[in-house]
C-alpha cells in the first residue's frame, strides 16, 4: 500500500522536468501522504480504507505540477541591447581602422610624428575599452533550472565571454606592438635591430597569459 501511494504521486510527476524543485515537492508530498496513511491505520481503518482516504484527499495534482512545467530558457536580448552592442562594436572597429591614419596624417601633414603615434594609441585604447565594455555587459546566461544541462550551458556561456574579452585585448595588444615597432624604427632608423620588439612582445604576452591562467586556476580551487 505504501508503494502504491508512492507510485500514485510519482506518476503525477512523470512529465514534469526533473528539477530540484520538482523532486523536493514530490518528496514532501510522499512524506505527508504516508504520515496521513499511518494515522488512518492508527484510527482503526483497514489498509484499503486508509489508501482510499489518502488518494481521494490528494485532489487534482495537475494544478500543482503545471506550475513546474514552465521553462524560461535564455534571457533574451532586447532590441535596444542589440542596437547598443552594434553601435559599440562598429565604433570600436572604426577607431581601429582610423588609428594608423593618425600616424600618417600627423607625420606627413603636420610633421609631428610623436603626436601621431600618441593619437593612434589613444584610438586603440578607446576601441579596446569599448569592446571589453560590450563583452562585459552582455546579458549572461541565467540558470532557470537546477539540472546538469543548465549548469553546462552556464559554464559554456561564461567560457565564451572570457574568450571574447581575451581576443579583444590580445588583438589590441598586437596593434600596439606594431605601432611601437614602426615608431621606434622610423625615429631611430635602426631597422636591423628593431624586429626584436616582436620577440619581446610575444614573450611578454605569453607571460601575462600564464599569470592570468595561474590566477584563474587558483580561484577555482
Partner 1 sequence: MSITSDILRGHTETIILKQLLISDSYGYQINKYIQEKTDNQFELKEATLYSAFRRLETAGYIVSYWGDETTGARRRYYSITTTGKKYYEESKKEWEEAKGLLDSLI
What is the binding site for partner 1 (CB under 8 A)? 24-25, 27-36, 39, 57-64, 67
- From the CB of 145, what's the least distance to partner 1, in Å? 16
- From the CB of 40, what's the least distance to partner 1, in Å? 11
Toward partner 1, which CB reaches closer, 36 or 45? Answer: 36
Toward partner 1, which CB reaches closer, 44 or 79? Answer: 44
Contact assessment for residue 148 and residue 123, using Cβ atoms and an 8 Å cutoff? no
Contacts by residues 66-71 (CB-CB < 8 Å, ≥ 24 positions apart):
68/16, 68/17, 68/19, 68/21, 68/22, 68/25, 69/15, 69/16, 69/17, 71/17, 71/144, 71/145
Toward partner 1, which CB reaches closer, 24 or 77? Answer: 24
Toward partner 1, which CB reaches closer, 25 or 124? Answer: 25
Contact assessment for residue 111 and residue 186, using Cβ atoms and an 8 Å cutoff? no
- From the CB of 24, what's the least distance to partner 1, in Å? 7
Amino acid at each position: 500500500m505504501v508503494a502504491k501511494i508512492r507510485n500514485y504521486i510519482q506518476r503525477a510527476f512523470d512529465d514534469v522536468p526533473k528539477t530540484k524543485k520538482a523532486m523536493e515537492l514530490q518528496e514532501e508530498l510522499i512524506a505527508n501522504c504516508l504520515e496521513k496513511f499511518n494515522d488512518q491505520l492508527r484510527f482503526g481503518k483497514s489498509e484499503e480504507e486508509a489508501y482510499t482516504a489518502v488518494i481521494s484527499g490528494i485532489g487534482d495534482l495537475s494544478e500543482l505540477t503545471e506550475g513546474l512545467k514552465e521553462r524560461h530558457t535564455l534571457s533574451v536580448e532586447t532590441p535596444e541591447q542589440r542596437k547598443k552592442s552594434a553601435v559599440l562594436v562598429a565604433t570600436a572597429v572604426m577607431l581601429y581602422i582610423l588609428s594608423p591614419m593618425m600616424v600618417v596624417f600627423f607625420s606627413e601633414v603636420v610633421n609631428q610624428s610623436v603626436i601621431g603615434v600618441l593619437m593612434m594609441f589613444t584610438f586603440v585604447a578607446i576601441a579596446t575599452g569599448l569592446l571589453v565594455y560590450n563583452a562585459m555587459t552582455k546579458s549572461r546566461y541565467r540558470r532557470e533550472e537546477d539540472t546538469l544541462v543548465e549548469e553546462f550551458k552556464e559554464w559554456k556561456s561564461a567560457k565564451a565571454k572570457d574568450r571574447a574579452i581575451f581576443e579583444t585585448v590580445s588583438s589590441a595588444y598586437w596593434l600596439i606592438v606594431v605601432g611601437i615597432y614602426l615608431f621606434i624604427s622610423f625615429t631611430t632608423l635602426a631597422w636591423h635591430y628593431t624586429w626584436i620588439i616582436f620577440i619581446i612582445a610575444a614573450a611578454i604576452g605569453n607571460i601575462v597569459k600564464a599569470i592570468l591562467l595561474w590566477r584563474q586556476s587558483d580561484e577555482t580551487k
